[in-house]
Amino acid sequence: MTTTARTTGRSRRWPSPIPYLYLLPALAVAGIFVYLPLVQTVVLSFFDWSVVRPERTFVGWDNYRTLVADPRLGDVLGQTVAYIAIALIANTALPIGLALLTLQIGGRAAGLYQTLLFVPAVVATSIGAMLWQWMYSPNAGLVNATLEVFGLPERRWLADTDTALGAVAVMTAWKFVGFNFLIALAGLRAIRVDLIEAARLDGATGWKLLWTVILPLLNPTTVFLIATTILTALPNVFTPIQILTQGGPARGTSNMLYETYEAGFRFFQAGRASTWSVVTMVVFALAAYGYFRIADRRVDHEG
């Protein structure tokens, strides 16, 4: 038996532990700070526990039954979907469109536009929210002042249930559009020029070139943007809600994540908060899984 054969045979029986040892610190950190809290959250969702009290009461599925029976559940889910829908338009479709436009401009002007679009991304969300709070101010705000110029009626943007959610979502979109714009721009620049030229030689121009060549080639970037937008829509809008509306008026700007926060950190209902966490986690995991299943079939990975 040769040395190589002996080594191979031994490695089949006892895989080297070295790679696993290298992974151990990262696994330990992830285990302590991610997976253990996750398991604890699931466990807590079966308890009635106020965080200011030492004792917990096992209540089985009661927290889930209460959540399903909550008359506000439909509103909260609807508002969650609304936030995601607005984010998809504002933080996926819009950045791709803006990236396409700035690429058409070219030269120094393109750089200027790209910089201006990215500026909100470097403004702290809390600062941005306070800026928009002033802009939405019913009397002294820039938004109503602009409407007044055009003879349009003033609105109480953050106090009116018809406009508050949209107002918060627009502020959030403003904050995050710049980062996604950069990703879209990078995606467009990564498309091979020879493919575009070949398409042009074949007679594809204008909208036809865009729909049949550029956007399909941009698909990997689009998939990434859509996935991250869906998964980050609620965390991104949390700070704006907290600063602008605190979930009001009439809970019209709350969503699944904000309900979780309020249950846990305003009402001290750890069991109820954990239930919201678990439901939110499951819904978003299913949404992500479903989306990737669909997207995988459509992505041109050679693009």
Partner 1 sequence: MRPATTSRRSVIATGAALAATISRPDWSPVSAAQSTPTAPVTIEYWHINTDAYGLVQIRQLIAMFQERHPSITVQERFLPDLYPGVIQNIQLGVAAGNPPDVVQIGNGYVRFTAGNLPFIPITDLAAIAGNTTLLPSLAGNIAAIGQVESIQVGVPYSLSATFTYINADMFQRAGLDLTSPPKTWADWEAAGQAIRGATGKPALLIVEQPGLVFATQTILASNGAGLTMDDGSGNAVSGFTTPAGIAAIQQWATSVENGTVSNVLTGEEAYQLFFDQEVAAITQTNAVWGTLTSQATFPMSASTFPAFTDQPLRLATGGNVLSVFAQDPAKQIASLAFIDFLLSPEALTVWDQGTGYLPPREELTTDPAYLGDTFADPVLAKAAESLKYAGPWQSFPGENGLQCEQLLHDAIEAAINDPGNVQSLLEDVATQIDTLIAGEAYVA
Q: Give whichever of 160 and 216 is closer to partner 1, judged by the CB atom.
A: 160
CA distances from 158 to 18, 79, 121, 163, 164 (A): 57, 15, 23, 7, 4
CA distances from 252 to 73, 121, 226, 274 (A): 12, 26, 25, 22
Q: How many CB atoms lie within 10 A of CB 172?
A: 27
CA–CA separation, 162 and 84 (whole Å): 17
Stretch that binds partner 1, among 14-22, 30-38, 52-60, 187-195 (CB under 8 A): 52-60
Site membership for partner 1, residue 246 (CB under 8 A): yes
**Smallest gap from residue 51 Cβ to partner 1 (A):** 7
Site membership for partner 1, residue 262 (CB under 8 A): yes
Site membership for partner 1, residue 247 (CB under 8 A): yes
- Residue at 37: amino acid letter: P
Window 136-155: residues binding partner 1 (CB under 8 A): 137-140
Q: What is the dihedral of CA 10, 15, 16, 17, to 10 degrees?
A: -140
**Smallest gap from residue 256 Cβ to partner 1 (A):** 16
Window 153-172: residues binding partner 1 (CB under 8 A): 156, 158-159
Site membership for partner 1, residue 263 (CB under 8 A): yes
Site membership for partner 1, residue 50 (CB under 8 A): yes
Q: How many CB atoms lie within 10 A of CB 121?
A: 16
CA–CA separation, 40 and 60 (whole Å): 15
Q: Give whichever of 103 and 160 is closer to partner 1, judged by the CB atom.
A: 160
Residues within the interface to partner 1 (CB under 8 A) = 48, 50-54, 71, 133, 137-140, 156, 158-159, 245-251, 262-263, 266-269
